[in-house]
């Protein structure tokens, strides 16, 4: 896996993934940015949420669960001192469908957290406390 990050001026960077997709990152005004895009640490949370959500949806589909929607809401705390690493992250999944089995949703969230989501496991091994919960909305 590769990526290329190019500084484009001020505190704005253009990131190109190895698969050819481009993302813009920017810093806050107090750090010379123009607040035009997500911050790099926000991108870490977005990556975690995407990785976990992908797993949950994939596991539920493989379990033949009638999933119709999945959202992940993430809240994080960071250290007060530099480096301002994440100290705690909480993921709340909202899974929607008709006749979803709670045991299957719980299992999907647990498997993502404990076995499949590389981002989650990497952050946990780095000392970040990550918690998960879910709710099921019947459609």
Burial of 59 (0-12, 13-18, 19+ CB in 10 A): buried
pTM of the entire structure? 0.94
- Cβ–Cβ under 8 Å, residues 17 and 43: no
Q: Enumerate the H helices of 3-115 as residue ranges.
A: 40-62, 102-111
- Using alpha carbons, select from 88, 131, 126 the residue that is nearest to residue 110: 131
Please tell me whether residue 65 adopts helix, strand or coil conformation.
coil
State the pLDDT at residue 33. 94
In this prediction, residue 88 carries a pLDDT of 98
Tell me the percentage of the chain whose pLDDT exceeds 70: 100
Q: Which residue spans of the chain are classified as CATH 3.30.300.20?
A: 40-138
**Assigned CATH class of 1-38:** mainly beta
- For 40-138, CATH gives 3.30.300.20
At 93-113, the pLDDT tens digits run 999 999 999 999 999 999 999
pLDDT of res. 35: 94
């Amino acid at each position: 896996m590769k990526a290329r990050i190019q500084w484009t001026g001020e505190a704005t960077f253009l990131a190109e993934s190895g698969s050819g997709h481009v993302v813009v990152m920017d810093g806050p005004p107090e750090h010379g940015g123009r607040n035009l895009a997500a911050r790099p640490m926000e991108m870490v949370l977005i990556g975690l949420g995407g990785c976990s959500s992908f797993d949950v949806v994939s596991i539920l589909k493989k379990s033949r669960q009638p999933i119709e929607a999945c959202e992940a809401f993430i809240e994080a705390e960071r250290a007060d001192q530099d480096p301002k690493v994440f100290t705690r992250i909480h993921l709340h999944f909202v899974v929607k469908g008709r006749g979803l089995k709670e045991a299957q949703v719980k299992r999907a969230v647990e498997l993502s957290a404990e076995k499949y989501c590389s981002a989650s496991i990497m952050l946990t091994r780095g000392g970040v406390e990550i918690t998960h919960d879910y709710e099921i909305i019947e459609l």
